[in-house]
């Protein structure tokens, strides 16, 4: 897995790519960046999964951990572009845990409504 992060206004956007099927240094760095933003009170987070090829149990755990970190910091984390893993999200019932949107733009707009 690879990721890039950027700040657009008060919203942090993580663009993930590749496969999230085993632990990696990038995963550790991803968790570190989530915590850094939380410590800076940048708690509105969008994770863009458009370029993700595959997600395994480790990847699901990573997303749940990120959600937990953001929630504990008083923020909100949403997913964007989950098309490739939509069946997995539904099968594991994580669609009841994560809010998801069809695009990053829709996900960003959801923060204005909440």
Establish if 42 belongs to a structural domain: yes
Q: How many structural domains comprise the chain?
A: 1
Residue 23 pLDDT greater than 90, yes or no: no
Establish if 45 belongs to a structural domain: yes
d(CA 63, CA 89): 11
What digits encode the pLDDT tens for the residues 56-98? 999 999 999 999 999 999 999 999 999 989 999 999 999 999 9
Residue 106 pLDDT greater than 80, yes or no: yes
d(CA 108, CA 95): 18
Domain residues for 43? 2-108
What does pTM read for this prediction?
Answer: 0.94
Establish if 114 belongs to a structural domain: no
Would you state the pLDDT for residue 114?
54
- Whichever domain contains 35, its CATH number is 3.30.750.24
Residue 3 pLDDT greater than 70, yes or no: yes
Would you state the pLDDT for residue 22?
86
C-alpha dist (Å) from residue 16 to 12, 35, 50, 99: 13, 17, 8, 17
């Amino acid at each position: 897995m690879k990721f890039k992060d950027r700040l657009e206004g008060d919203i942090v956007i993580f663009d993930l790519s590749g496969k999230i099927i085993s632990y990696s240094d990038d995963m550790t760095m991803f968790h570190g960046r989530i915590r850094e933003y939380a410590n800076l009170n940048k708690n509105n987070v969008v994770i863009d999964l458009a370029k993700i090829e595959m997600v395994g149990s480790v990847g699901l755990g990573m997303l749940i951990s990120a959600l937990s970190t953001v929630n504990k910091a008083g923020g909100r984390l949403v997913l964007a572009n989950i098309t490739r893993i939509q069946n997995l999200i539904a099968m594991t019932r994580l669609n009841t845990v994560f809010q998801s949107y069809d695009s990053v733009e829709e996900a960003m707009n959801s923060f204005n409504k909440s």
